[in-house]
C-alpha cells in the first residue's frame, strides 16, 4: 500500500507499481522457500496406499486448520484446469492486462505462494503478532497520508480535481 509513483508517470500510477513489487517479492519468497526446503532435511511421512483415505482424514482431524490449506490447493487446481481448457490461454494465464492485478493464473499462483510461505512460517504466536503489527502499521501509514491529503498537506499532486478526493496511496477514495 505504500508503493506509488508520481501522477502522469504511467497510465496506472497506483496499481502497476504495487503489482510489480508484489509479484517480485513473492517470486523471491518462493525461491527462498524452495532453497530452504532443499537445505532443511524434513522427512515427510508417506501414506500407506492401502489406507490412504483414513490417513488423510486423520491428518485433517489432527489440525482442522489444514482445511484452509486444502481449500487453497483446490482453488489453485481449479484455476490451473480452467487455464488449461481456456479458449484464450494467454488471457487466462496472464490476465486481461498483465500489468494490473486480476484473476489470471499468474496472479492466483503468486497469491498462493504468498499464502503458503506465510502459512508455513507464521507458526508461533509471536510471529503472528509481528505479522499483524506490520499489517496495522502499514494501514496506519496509508490512513495518515490520506489525513494529510484532507488537510491539504500533500507532497504529490495526484488528481486534477483540486484535492477534493482523498485517495491516499490506494488510488481510490475507498
What digits encode the pLDDT tens for the residues 114-167?
A: 999 998 899 899 999 999 999 999 989 888 888 888 888 877 766 555 556 777
* Spatial contact of 83 and 92, defined as CB atoms under 8 Å apart: yes
pLDDT of 65 above 80: yes
pLDDT of the residue at 63: 83
User: Do 69 and 119 contact (CB within 8 A), yes or no?
Assistant: yes
Question: Environment class of residue 104 by beta-carbon count within 10 Å: exposed (0-12), middle (13-18) or buried (19+)?
Answer: buried
Taking the whole predicted model, whether its pTM rises above 0.95 is answered as no
What number of other Cβ atoms are within 10 A of residue 15's Cβ? 19
How far apart are alpha carbons 103 and 108 in whole angstroms? Answer: 6
* pLDDT-based confidence at residue 76 (cuts at 50, 70, 90): very high
Amino acid at each position: 500500500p505504500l508503493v506509488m509513483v508520481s501522477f502522469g508517470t504511467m497510465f496506472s500510477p497506483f496499481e502497476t507499481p504495487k503489482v510489480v513489487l508484489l509479484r517480485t517479492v513473492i517470486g523471491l519468497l518462493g525461491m527462498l522457500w524452495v532453497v530452504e526446503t532443499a537445505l532443511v532435511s524434513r522427512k515427510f511421512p508417506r501414506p500407506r496406499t492401502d489406507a490412504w483415505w483414513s490417513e488423510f482424514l486423520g491428518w485433517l482431524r489432527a489440525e482442522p486448520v489444514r482445511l484452509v490449506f486444502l481449500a487453497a490447493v483446490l482453488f489453485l487446481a481449479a484455476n490451473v484446469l480452467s487455464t488449461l481448457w481456456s479458449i484464450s490461454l494467454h488471457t487466462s494465464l496472464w490476465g486481461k492486462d498483465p500489468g494490473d492485478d486480476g484473476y489470471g493464473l499468474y496472479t492466483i499462483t503468486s497469491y498462493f505462494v504468498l499464502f503458503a510461505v506465510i502459512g508455513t512460517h507464521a507458526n508461533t504466536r509471536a510471529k503472528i503478532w509481528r505479522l499483524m503489527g506490520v499489517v496495522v502499521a502499514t494501514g496506519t501509514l496509508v490512513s495518515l497520508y490520506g489525513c494529510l491529503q484532507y488537510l491539504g498537506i500533500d507532497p504529490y499532486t495526484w488528481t486534477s480535481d483540486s484535492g477534493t478526493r482523498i485517495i491516499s496511496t490506494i488510488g481510490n477514495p475507498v
